[in-house]
Amino acid sequence: MVSLLPLPSADRPVLKHHALVVQGGDLGYAVSRLLALKYPESVKGHLVNLAVPNEPTITSHPALHAQLQSTALTEWEKAGIARSEWFGVEGVGYNKLQQTKPQTLAYAMAANPVGLLAWLYDKLHDWTDEYPWTDDEVLTWVSIYEFSTAGSWANQRIYYEDAHAASGPSFARAASYIDVKLGISRFPKELLLRPRLWHHTMGPVVLMNEHGKGGHFAAWEVPDLLVGDIREMFGRDGGAFGVVEGRSGYK
């Protein structure tokens, strides 16, 4: 997630009396959405990648459901659905393990840097759009985990906590309709790609761009495309231009 806001103090709760926009992918997607849900008076717009919308049904969204039935899927959408099906069968094991037995995995990550490398590189390889990782890039990513103060296993705990939260998993809550202007960046090698029309169950969509390249780590792989979407959404001709009072957006 990318956002700029003052640090909170005892008499200034987080986000109160501030106006901002946010962008996020993966867990940052859920954080961005939940910020907009909890602080709609402060979060004036949000742009996300890895959007996971609910399917519009005949009871939940009758008009949208009817439109979906009469609208043929594009080739981009068909490829995205196939990508999602692959991930659901072949790519989601890490998630289930970290949601249920994170400490078991933690011993392997802490004891063997090669094991950590293999665990992370598996994702860097499968989740990108043939991104040409250099040795320095891979080692930088692995080092962030290996040499962090919390330890190389600390990142796994959030999966367990989220799956067992009393309020429900964050991605499920993030799928609800949120009345804050929404932009969606779609990349062909993302892990979950739903039909375009599904995304209108999430909020007032003012931008949805489907790109020709890029994967799950779009901010690293194709930063210019992601930044371009931000500029388009909040620029002078964008659907969220001027949402923050006193800010003119991009020219």
Report the alpha-carbon distance of residue 171 to residue 163 in Å, rounded: 10
Predicted confidence at residue 15, as pLDDT, reads 60
| Backbone φ, ψ for residue 214 (5° rounding) | 115, 155
Q: In the structure, what pLDDT confidence band is assigned to residue 70 with cuts at 50, 70 and 90?
A: very high
- Token duo for residue 165: 């939260």
Range of the domain at 202: 20-80+175-234
Predicted confidence at residue 13, as pLDDT, reads 55
Last residue of a domain, one of 163, 192, 214: 163
Are 74 and 97 members of one domain?
Answer: no
- The residue whose two tokens read 């860097």 is 124
Kindly state whether residue 134 falls inside one of the protein's structural domains. yes
Are 72 and 124 members of one domain?
Answer: no
Are 98 and 158 members of one domain?
Answer: yes
Last residue of a domain, one of 163, 198, 218: 163
Are 100 and 213 members of one domain?
Answer: no
Are 191 and 141 members of one domain?
Answer: no
Are 115 and 157 members of one domain?
Answer: yes
Average pLDDT for residues 184-212, to the nearest whole number?
A: 98
Query: Please, which residues have CB within 8 angstroms of residue 247's CB and are 6 or more apart in sequence?
Result: none
Residue 20 gets the label, from left (phi > 0), alpha (psi -120 to 50) or beta, of beta
Kindly state whether residue 86 falls inside one of the protein's structural domains. no
Kindly state whether residue 140 falls inside one of the protein's structural domains. yes
Are 73 and 104 members of one domain?
Answer: no
- Token duo for residue 44: 């004036």
Query: pTM for the complete prediction?
Result: 0.91
Predicted confidence at residue 247, as pLDDT, reads 79
Report the alpha-carbon distance of residue 44 to residue 18 in Å, rounded: 10
Kindly state whether residue 106 falls inside one of the protein's structural domains. yes
Kindly state whether residue 47 falls inside one of the protein's structural domains. yes
Share of the chain above pLDDT 70, in %: 92
Are 135 and 180 members of one domain?
Answer: no
Domains held by the chain: number:
2
Q: Is 23 helix (H, G, I), strand (E, B) or coil?
A: strand
Are 124 and 67 members of one domain?
Answer: no
Average pLDDT for residues 44-68, to the nearest whole number?
A: 97
Are 119 and 67 members of one domain?
Answer: no
Kindly state whether residue 53 falls inside one of the protein's structural domains. yes
Instruction: Look at residues 177, 228, 193, 176 and name the one whose alpha carbon lies nearest to residue 207.
Output: 228
Are 76 and 96 members of one domain?
Answer: no
DSSP letters for 54-79: PPP-TTT-HHHHHHHHTSPPPHHHHH
What does the pLDDT look like over 76-134, one tens digit per residue?
Answer: 999 999 999 999 999 999 999 999 999 999 998 888 899 999 999 999 999 999 999 99
**Higher local confidence (pLDDT), 148 or 223:** 223
Report the alpha-carbon distance of residue 116 to residue 38 in Å, rounded: 36
Predicted confidence at residue 7, as pLDDT, reads 39
Query: Distance of alpha carbon 139 from its chain centroid, rounded?
Result: 24
Instruction: Look at residues 194, 221, 215, 213 and name the one whose alpha carbon lies nearest to residue 82.
Output: 194
Q: In the structure, what pLDDT confidence band is assigned to residue 251 with cuts at 50, 70 and 90?
A: low
Query: How far is it between the farthest Cα atoms of the chain?
Result: 55
Kindly state whether residue 4 falls inside one of the protein's structural domains. no
The CATH number linked to 218 is 3.40.50.1820
Share of the chain above pLDDT 90, in %: 82
Kindly state whether residue 249 falls inside one of the protein's structural domains. no
